[in-house]
Amino acid sequence: MLTFNYRYRIYPDAPQEQQLIEWMDICRGAYNYALREIKDWCDSRKCLIDRCSLDKEYIIPADTKFPNEIYQLNNLPKAKKQFLRLKEVPSQVLQQAIKQLHKGWDYFTKRGFGFPRFKKYGQFKSLLFPQFKGNPVTDLHLLLPKIGAIPINLHRPIPSGFVVKQVRIIRKADRWYTSILIQCDVSIPDPAPHGHPIGVDIGLSKFLATSEGVLVKPPKFLKKLQHKLKLLQRRLSRKKKRSKNYSKARLQVARLHHKIDNSRKNFHYKQAHALCDQGDMVFMENLDYRVSAKGFLGKQMLDAGFGQFRTIVKYVSSKRGKFFAQVDARGTSQRCPSCGGEVKKDLSVRVHSCPHCNYQTDRDVASGMVIRNRGLELISTPGLGGKETACAVGLPGAGEISSRSETKPRKEITRKSSK
């Protein structure tokens, strides 16, 4: 089963826009009501020791079951009789709001943190239409139940053989988008390791450095527009809340954020395609970039958007039939790609020069090469297919690595699995 999400811009006219906003607000109400039910149930099951138990404990009868998804979905028809407003929204769309809450709830219970929150006005920004009888997308319009045809910019045709399964309407700043989930009933195997490998090291001083020696400067989208954003945010802070001018200023801030987001994403896609042009196998580090985004370079890390970039590289390489894998990130900058020896250097040292074998190259390129070498070891480990990589021959130091460092990374792998 092949599944893609295609995003198009849509242009609802004023009444349609009004209706969509109205629907989102109704769904928000249902979401908040359902969350209140869950919260009340949770509050009634516990009582802090210094609180009055008359006030807190078991306001809801002790044998009441947890308001789960099915219970809340079944209550919707009853609620519709009481709150006539709910009838305006297509019922499946309303159900999705409840389902969304329970998805968040399940994730919270699994993870242990991130309790679902109430959504304020304007925080419910998308509607999901989960089912369609026919094809709702034509060349010019998107047909939605109860709302009719909305003009769509179908800049990319839906490929033949694909069926539209779901449609999500998204509101970003003052623009409207639709994310269309399409499916095709074919199975395509994951691309096997083959061809020319490249290792990609990403960092702040260079956005990316490949093992081939390609260096890309960081684009710094946020930094370039930061002064403008600051100005707009300051203007917004001085407006009277809920006034007309406040909403205008808020929109300007939102538009600028949207612009930064779009240009960053565009850049990521272009770089990902450039990487796939260079090689057939792409290796990246398995770092969690959210951790370093909390450090003192947090803004720069978030501006670069490394996590999104890696996801996009993964997506692009799968679409283009290239192999993608993540390798262990520990100490990639402290190794010599040529002899495998340890070369200690802190962030200020920009050139890698090995005291063991006198190999010299750019620091980021060196770690890119280490990542590539680790990737090659990863795919030639038994259990991962045992693929021979003929291309490794002739690369600097590839011969020595196979004998010397074969044991080292495996040690790391076993240690990791024992955790």
Which residues are at the interface with Zn ion (CB under 5 A)? Answer: 336, 338-339, 341, 354, 356-357, 359
Nearer to Zn ion, 148 or 341 (CB): 341
Give me the long-range contacts of 349-353 (CB less than 8 A, separation at least 24): 350/205
Mutual angle of helices 306-319 and 244-278, in 10-degree steps? 50
Tell me how far, at minimum, the Cβ of 368 lies from Zn ion, in Å: 15
Between 43 and 400, whose beta carbon lies closer to Zn ion? Answer: 400
Shortest gap between Cβ of 351 and Zn ion (angstroms)? 13
| Least separation in angstroms between CB 69 and Zn ion | 58
Smaller CB separation from Zn ion, 230 or 356: 356
Quick one: 249 or 369, whose CB is closer to Zn ion?
Answer: 369
State the nearest-atom distance from the C-beta of 340 to Zn ion, in Å.
7
The residue (of 353 and 380) whose beta carbon lies closer to Zn ion is: 353
> Is 191 or 341 the residue whose CB approaches Zn ion more closely?
341
Q: Which is nearer to Zn ion, 381 or 402 (CB)?
A: 402
Residue found by looking up tokens 């920009």 in the block? 350
Smallest distance from the beta carbon of 337 to Zn ion, in angstroms? 8
CB of 297 to Zn ion, least distance (A): 29
- Closest approach of Zn ion to the CB of residue 357, in Å: 4
Query: Minimum CB separation from Zn ion for residue 395, in Å?
Result: 14
**Minimum Å distance from CB 279 to Zn ion?**
23
For Zn ion, the closer CB: 153 or 358 = 358
The residues, ordered by sequence, that sit 6+ positions from 226 with a Cβ below 8 Å of its Cβ are none
**Nearest to Zn ion of 306, 359 (CB atom):** 359
